[in-house]
Structure 1
Amino acid sequence: MNGLEISPFIKDLPKEVNGDDGRPTFLEAYFAGCQVLITEDDFYELSMEYFARCAEMNVRYCEPFFDTQAHTERGISASTVVNGYLRAQQDGARKYGVKSNWIFCFLRDRPLQEGLEAYTAVRPWATLRDGTGKGLFHAVGLAANEFEKPPLLFEMGFRMAKEDGLHVTLHCDVDQKDAVEHVREAIFDVCGGQGTERIDHGLNVLDKPDLLPALKQRGIGLTLCPHAYHRRQATEILFPKIKKLIDEGVQLCINSDDPTYMHDVWIDGNMQKIYTFCALSKADMVKLARNSVDMCWADKDTKKEIIAQLDHIDVSV
């Protein structure tokens, strides 16, 4: 990371948890890396590389997160971004057999109005309730630095998306400032009190007694990325938490979090960590894979196809 130039867009970000050791934080590195994405072909090629890696790991379906604000800030049009992604969505399914539905993110360290304008600009590329739209994305979420930026700040954006027939998932990172309160808002308050449909990360649900029962009662799933947390938590602390969630019957699935920035640990590496450090069986791993199908927002035929393949896995050997 030496010599990494930090964009003025993110130079004033508060440091992440555990202090500042002089190196760029993940978010600084991420947004600096985004600066090489300029043309429609850049966004297309980035996505096709991703789908090629997915195919190597036998991933059949994925839901990538994206935003446009980090690019429009640099003078790149929103249409340049989403047209590149849309071509890749179509070609990734055709060339690699990897289907995808994408998730548009509001950047939570940017003003709400800017996020609403960003959503309005890309709305024609969504899968809209009335059957129009180009079908790139079918959900909205949150991204970027959540320091003192609780989910409810973006309630207007969530409501707009719900009115359009889109899904909502909320990023509640682990052990950040006010992490427990962010999880509470995601469960009880957003979307007019209905709560979010999924929580990305959300491991701090274990830190307050009333949150876990409410999470289960409302059927809100967690998308966990074990390696991202393992960077900061000891094995003997982290994995018992995840095992508790599994044992409690929480609907959760295993995912990868910005793998090229996280020591190149992808979904297979995250699944291996869970299998090893939570001492799970092969049947447990198939159940987690089924959870991911149940929790995702793929069409019925795609889900049926993947479930049929999971049903044929021999877990006795």
Structure 2
Amino acid sequence: MKTLITGIPKAELHLHIEGTLEPAMMLSIGKRNGLALPFPDVETAQKAYDFEDLQSFLDIYYKGASVLLHEQDFYDLTMAYLKKAVSQNVRHTEIFFDPQTHTSRGVAFETVLDGITNALRDGEKTFGISTKLIMCILRHLSEKEGLETLERSLDYRDRIAGIGLDSSETGNPPEKFAELYERARGAGFLTVAHAGEEGHADYIWQALKTLHVRRIDHGVHCMEDDTLVEELVRQQIPLTVCPLSNIKLHVFASMRDHNLKTMLRRGLLVTVNSDDPAYFGGYVNENYLAVQKALRLEPGEIVTLAKNSFRASFLPEEQKKLRLLEMERWISKHNPT
């Protein structure tokens, strides 16, 4: 089973690039930039990664991101993730970034974007990994502030494929950003949104009906509403589930309690992703391994999850077919069990 999980070609669709800032890199970049370090050493940083809920995680997340100031910082961060992803046989990745986290500190929007997209370009050239970049709006801020960020992004539609919604879910429902998403769709952006992680099933309905998103990030609370599940299955709306994140943030008490297997067997288009791997204890393969062990997923279910990752991606249909064909060839060659 480990051979299957670690070797099978896969995509990752729910990955916050700021959430890949490993403690050692955080301290190294902070020192390079002459900053007062957010933590004195790696061990202290790792001990701080003990979260009670989403907000307690976000407090540490923003503290870590404060060391990112220059284009080179964002380049190094992104390239480190791509190297890790390629080592885990990720063939395609769709990466979130949070410009408001940085522009609020005086870092130029272009500094963030140039660092990330230059690394994505070099990563594709060097490793053959395909990528798309999704700009997330911080939902704990006002829609007005989000609209200002959206306006900043319009000149870069050749580099930014989509718009997402992240940060504190509770008290910040999707409908808060109805106008922003209408403008984003009008500008030609693909749309996704975090919903149903901390928020209840109604937040997922809002993301679908009000924001008209193409994909739901997390979405595990959809199981509260049978009608919603039926609609998600009918439309084959992808759900980008992040198992280790869900445990670390106490969405579920333990991995054995996770509903991913039930979701999969109900016919939902479920994918497995790492979210913020530097903080949650594992990249995409570690998420597959943890959920397989706890829920006793069968080889066929692992294959379905990997296939779903390409089906749920924003790759053109022809490229999806090529990636799925590559997967079938790998399975035929290795016959993993």
TM-score using structure 2 length: 0.79
Cα deviation digits, residues 147-183 of structure 1 (max 9, x gap): 2000011111211121122211110252x2x422212
Does residue 296 (structure 1) correspond to residue 313 (structure 2)? The answer is: yes
State the alpha-carbon separation in 2 of the partners of residues 280 and 117 from structure 1: 44
The 5 Å alignment of 1:210-225 reads 210-225=227-242
Equivalent residue for 1:179? Answer: 200
SS in 2 for 1:25: helix
Equivalent residue for 1:11? Answer: none
User: Residue 197 of structure 1: which of 189, 199, 214 is its match?
Assistant: 214
Using the TM superposition, give the Cα deviation of residue 281 of structure 1 relative to its aligned residue in structure 2, in angstroms: 2.1
Does residue 256 (structure 1) correspond to residue 274 (structure 2)? The answer is: yes
Contact 1:228 1:262 in 2 (8 A): yes
SS in 1 for 2:233: helix
Question: Which runs of no fewer than 5 residues in structure 2 stay unpaired?
Answer: 1-22, 24-36, 40-49
State the alpha-carbon separation in 2 of the partners of residues 25 and 92 from structure 1: 33
Q: Letter of the aligned partner of 1:190 in structure 2? A: T
> How has the CA–CA distance of structure 1 residues 292 and 276 changed in structure 2, closer, same or farther, with 3 Å as cutoff?
same
State the alpha-carbon separation in 1 of the partners of residues 126 and 116 from structure 2: 15
Does residue 153 (structure 1) correspond to residue 171 (structure 2)? The answer is: no
Aligned residues: 287
Root mean square deviation of aligned Cα:
2.2
> How has the CA–CA distance of structure 1 residues 19 and 276 changed in structure 2, closer, same or farther, with 3 Å as cutoff?
closer
Equivalent residue for 2:7? Answer: none
Q: Letter of the aligned partner of 1:249 in structure 2? A: G
State the alpha-carbon separation in 1 of the partners of residues 293 and 105 from structure 2: 43
Contact 1:230 1:238 in 2 (8 A): no
Question: Which runs of no fewer than 5 residues in structure 1 stay unpaired?
Answer: 6-15, 127-132
Equivalent residue for 1:8? Answer: none
State the alpha-carbon separation in 1 of the partners of residues 283 and 320 from structure 2: 22
Cα deviation digits, residues 115-153 of structure 1 (max 9, x gap): 111111122222xxxxxx3xx221111111122000011
Ranked by relative contact order (alpha carbons within 8 Å, sequence separation 6 or more), the top structure is 2
Where has structure 1 moved over 3 Å in runs of 4 or more? 16-20, 234-237, 314-317
Contact 1:82 1:122 in 2 (8 A): no
Worse-superposed segment, 107-116 or 215-224: 215-224
Contact 2:216 2:240 in 1 (8 A): yes
Q: Letter of the aligned partner of 1:182 in structure 2? A: Y
Contact 2:132 2:160 in 1 (8 A): yes
User: Residue 37 of structure 1: which of 52, 55, 68 is its match?
Assistant: 68
Equivalent residue for 1:238? Answer: 257
User: Residue 126 of structure 2: which of 61, 86, 95 is its match?
Assistant: 95
State the alpha-carbon separation in 1 of the partners of residues 323 and 256 from structure 2: 33
State the alpha-carbon separation in 2 of the partners of residues 44 and 301 from structure 1: 30
Contact 1:67 1:105 in 2 (8 A): yes
Identity %: 28
Q: Letter of the aligned partner of 2:224 in structure 1? A: D
Q: Pick the structure with more helix per residue.
A: 2
